[in-house]
Amino acid sequence: MNNKLIKKVLILVLSLMVQAAFSNLAHSADALSGVKSGTAGSADTNINDRYALPPSKVNIELCKREALLLHPGLIEKQRMLHRHGDFKVRFQIQGNDGLEWFMLCDLATGKVTDSF
């Protein structure tokens, strides 16, 4: 019985050692390739990522203000649109005048491009 327990403990210890060895190999390979531990490799390094928001994503607040200046009311829906590298946001506004407006704003400039 002691023999079985010793075998199980040895197997557990060896498997932990193998796991640690492979973990160290993975970390050293990441260090050689320049990937920081705990971060996604392409999240910060690939600026031209097709689905990443542009650096001007802070313009969404500017877009909201401009859309509400043109048609005062309540923003009911907001949707991000992406086509061929351009990012836009579409607002659905219930106007104070009782009409419903759709506003399209360019996130790169913060300007409303369409109103319908």
Q: What is the pLDDT of residues 53-110, one digit of tens each?
A: 656 566 888 999 999 999 999 999 999 888 887 889 999 999 998 999 999 999 888 8
Q: Encoding tokens for residue 55?
A: 């650096």
Q: What's the whole-model pTM score?
A: 0.52
Output the CA–CA distances (angstroms, integers) from residue 20 to 6, 24, 38, 39, 104, in the order listed: 21, 6, 17, 20, 53
